[in-house]
Amino acid sequence: MENTNLIDQEQAFEESKEKIFELLEEKKYFRCRDELLKFNAVDIAELLEEVMRKYSMQTAIILFRTLPKGASVEVFAHFDVDDQVEIINIITDPEIKYIIEELDFDDMIDVLDELPANIVDKILDKTPKNERRQINTFLKYKEYSAGSLMTPDYINLRKNMTRREALDHIRDVGMNSETIYSCYVLDGGRKLVGVVSLRSLVLADENTKVSDIMKEDIIFAHVDDDQEETSELFKKYGFIAIPVVDNEDRLVGIITFDDILDVIEEENTEDMERMGGVIDNTDKDYLDTPVLMHVKARLPWLLVLMVSYVFTGGMIASFEKSLSAVIALVAYMPMLMGTGGNSGTQSSTVIITGMATGDLELSDVLRVLWKEFRIGIIVGICVSILNYMRIVAFDHNGSLVALTVCLSMVLIVIIAKCIGALLPMIAKKIGIDPALIAGPMMASLTDMVALGTYFTMARLVLKI
């Protein structure tokens, strides 16, 4: 990419991709490499993964091996975990050793976590004892915990260092640190006493001491904290890095914001999936997940919900006689159930996102219900009036049927809105993820409400 005329990045990327594929067809690997090296490591990884899919893993590895050593490690860090494992299985032992040693500590742990135990043992065999112990500690942190996200490569300062000493220390050890922008001040017992930003160090006067500029109101995570809680801290405070302490309050590592961006994406996906009735326990890509794993993620919910249909089925069966008397009533069942479900889902969605962003607290429950009640009345009446006109005008059903449908509609919308708002709050109160409740379960509940209301109203209005 010429940087004097900043042409459209995506276009440049696509053009280079075509060029690389052409060069690959002609087996001009080194010209391919030159083309690749115009890009950021993230993009090179993406391009090589396309080569894996389009040609073969072998071809991608030939190209990967042409990269300068430093670049190759950075690119490796950006591959999907599955691809990393496959590459490790193909390349030679010295290559593995080099990559593992040069990876950032947290990336290395992620790779080791996915490799079979015998390969991990083989790799760790050649690692110095101290480092091996540390690696084993990190491998033991629970998945999805703050501990599993952190890296031990942080900058460690002392309270009584001068600005000069601190900056010299940073220059000495900075190369191997994940970030040098947040530095951590520890006491003799490795307890965290302050945080200093590189910004404040650089901007400070020559004879400032670390203790003069360090912040003492430290926001930190605990190794066992859930990654979601940790990502909330980043969202709230906008820090570049957050320190992580162990059970004895000692600093054991830091988490940097770039790793949290991945966590936020994972958590968003999980919320969406749960609302959509998918219980996915893998981190694999859609296409890499076998059919049976997909079935496993989806079948349980569908079966649980079957139970609710036993009830709706039973309700209808017990009303069968009246239904045959006025068979026209059947035609409006989907509308009432559907509108009830949609109204409830709307409310749940708004409440769930409100709670997630911190706008709503559990203590707001009465204000929420009162609001949803009023929204339900207005929405219900609007929908019902339109329906009444439609039914009388086009469906040629008696006005009593229309009245039954429309009175039911108002009630169903109001009840569904209140249930839709209440359920996620109850879920949160008792410690279940509200998103688990809002999706398909909401629909089943509102189905029952819709049918119950409809049949009761039919009995009252039509005297059947």
Which range touches its own copies (CB under 8 A), out of 56-64, 110-118, 143-151, 273-281?
273-281
Return the residue of 92, 217, 247, 393 that touches its own copies, per CB under 8 A: 217
For Cα atoms 28, 30, 32, give the angle at the middle one, nearest 5 degrees. Answer: 70
Q: Binding to its own copies by residue 171, rule CB under 8 A?
A: yes
Q: Binding to its own copies by residue 286, rule CB under 8 A?
A: yes
Residues 101-140 that bind its own copies (CB under 8 A): none
Judged by DSSP in three states, 80 sits in coil
Q: How far is CA 442 from the centre of its chain?
A: 22
In whole angstroms, how close is the CB of 98 to its own copies at the nearest point? 22
Q: Binding to its own copies by residue 219, rule CB under 8 A?
A: yes
Query: Residues touching its own copies: how many (CB under 8 A)?
Result: 129
What is the three-state SS of 264-328? Answer: HHHHHHHHHHHHCCCCCCCCCCCCCCCHHHHHHHHHHHHHHHHHHHHHHHHHHHHCHHHHHHCHH
- Read off the amino acid at residue 345: T
In whole angstroms, how close is the CB of 429 to its own copies at the nearest point? 17
Residue 241 φ then ψ, to 5°: -150, 155
Return the residue of 56, 89, 136, 269 that touches its own copies, per CB under 8 A: 269
Q: Binding to its own copies by residue 454, rule CB under 8 A?
A: no
What is the three-state SS of 172-226? Answer: HHHHHCCCCCEEEEECCCCEEEEEEEHHHHHHCCCCCEHHHHCECCCCCEECCCE
Q: Binding to its own copies by residue 351, rule CB under 8 A?
A: yes
Which range touches its own copies (CB under 8 A), out of 87-95, 115-123, 155-163, 288-296?
288-296
Residue 359 φ then ψ, to 5°: -70, -30
Judged by DSSP in three states, 432 sits in coil
Whichever of 119 and 315 has its CB closer to its own copies, that residue is 315
Residues 356-385 that bind its own copies (CB under 8 A): 356-357, 359-360, 364, 367-368, 371, 374-375, 378-379, 382-383
Whichever of 88 and 198 has its CB closer to its own copies, that residue is 198
In whole angstroms, how close is the CB of 343 to its own copies at the nearest point? 7
In whole angstroms, how close is the CB of 158 to its own copies at the nearest point? 15
Q: Binding to its own copies by residue 273, rule CB under 8 A?
A: yes
The bridge status of strand 251-256 relative to strand 241-245 is: antiparallel
Q: Binding to its own copies by residue 334, rule CB under 8 A?
A: yes
Tokens of 178: 């994940």
Residues 41-100 that bind its own copies (CB under 8 A): 42
Conformational region of residue 190, where left means phi above 0, alpha means psi within -120 to 50, and beta covers everything else = left
For Cα atoms 442, 448, 449, give the angle at the middle one, nearest 5 degrees. Answer: 85
Q: Binding to its own copies by residue 451, rule CB under 8 A?
A: yes
DSSP notation for 329-365: GGGGHHHHHHHHHHHHHHHHHHHHHHHHTTS--GGGH
Q: Binding to its own copies by residue 4, rule CB under 8 A?
A: yes
Whichever of 57 and 448 has its CB closer to its own copies, that residue is 448
In whole angstroms, how close is the CB of 202 to its own copies at the nearest point? 6
